[in-house]
Each structure stands twice: as structure tokens, then as C-alpha cells.
Amino acid sequence: MITVQPLPKSKTEQKLENLLRANKEFVSVGHFSESGTHYSGFTFPELMQLHHNGTTNADGTEHIPPRPVLEYLFHNQPKILNNPKVRRAVKRYMDSKLTEKDLVAMLKAVGFELANEEVDIFGSNQLRKNHPFTISRKGEDAPLVDTQDLVSEVSYKDSVTKTRRKVL
């Protein structure tokens, strides 16, 4: 009887296998249930959804204008690929052995930069301006910036460790 032992995988084959496995992983950015409940009684994801969609009064007038922060982030997503920190993280990953540890480090770097992009949208001119009454109450026109509660809960998670990490 003849027995054949398969050849061990080459470094290139192992890296390709790891790279293909990494292609299934991702980073989530936003507000997560782990943040708990805001003093308003809403969870932070519910509060973000409320701001995303806005609200109307019974007479059909806008009460809270829609401020789709994550939609702006989604449209800015291609820009993140040009971020020097993201480029360095991806290059480090590609130059590494492509282990799970290397993958998590890369996903964390990308998640952190994406979450920072979301933080930058708060109070920016990308969002609809506040109502004059709101401006007079706050003393400035910085949409979604008041108590800092919502922006301080901006977080990211990678699909490998599933650990929520806050930006601020």
C-alpha cells in the first residue's frame, strides 16, 4: 500500500487562507445596547434612531429635524480609505503573518478612525441647522451637541472580538 502525505502549506498559502478568512470580518460603528439607557429613558441606539428620523408634531410640523449622522458617515466611508492611519493599519496587516491578532489590530484601527469620523459629524455643518429657539436656548448652532451624552457613546466593534470600544 502506498501512503501519501500532503505537503505542508507554504507561507503564501497560509497567508492567502488567512486573508480569505479576514475578508468575512467587519467593523460596526455607532451606538450599541451595551451603552445602557440615556436619562431620557431611551437606549442610546433608540435615541440615535430618533435623531436620525426626526419627529413631527401632531399638526405635521417638524419637532426634531432628521439628522442622519450614520448616513453621512456611510457616504464618507470611501474617504476613510485615504486616512493615513487606516492605510498604515492595512499595510501593517498585509505585511504581517495575517494572524487573528493582526486582523483584530487592523479592524480596531479602522473602527477607531470610522468612529472618529462619526464624532466629527456631530455639531458640523453637514447636519440641518437648529431651530432659532434651540439656538437661543443652547447659545450656539451645534446640531446634536448639548449634553455630550450621545456623542460620548459613539463606539465601534469588530466582528472577531465583538468588544465595544468607545472613542471619547
Mean local confidence (pLDDT), 101-119: 92
pLDDT, position 7 = 74
Give the confidence band of 143 by pLDDT, cuts at 50, 70, 90. Answer: low
Tell me what the pLDDT averaged over the chain comes to. Answer: 85
Query: Quick check: 94 pLDDT over 80?
Result: yes
Residue type, 92: R
pLDDT, position 28 = 92
**Would you say the pTM of this structure is higher than 0.75?**
yes
Q: Is 5 left (phi over 0), alpha (psi -120 to 50) or beta?
A: beta
Q: What percent of the chain has pLDDT over 90?
A: 36
* φ, ψ (nearest 5 deg) of residue 80: -65, -30
Q: Are 107 and 117 in contact (CB under 8 A)?
A: no
Residue with the three cell numbers 486582523: 103
- List the chain domain ranges: 41-55+63-166
Q: How many angstroms separate the CA atoms of 164 and 143, rounded? A: 25
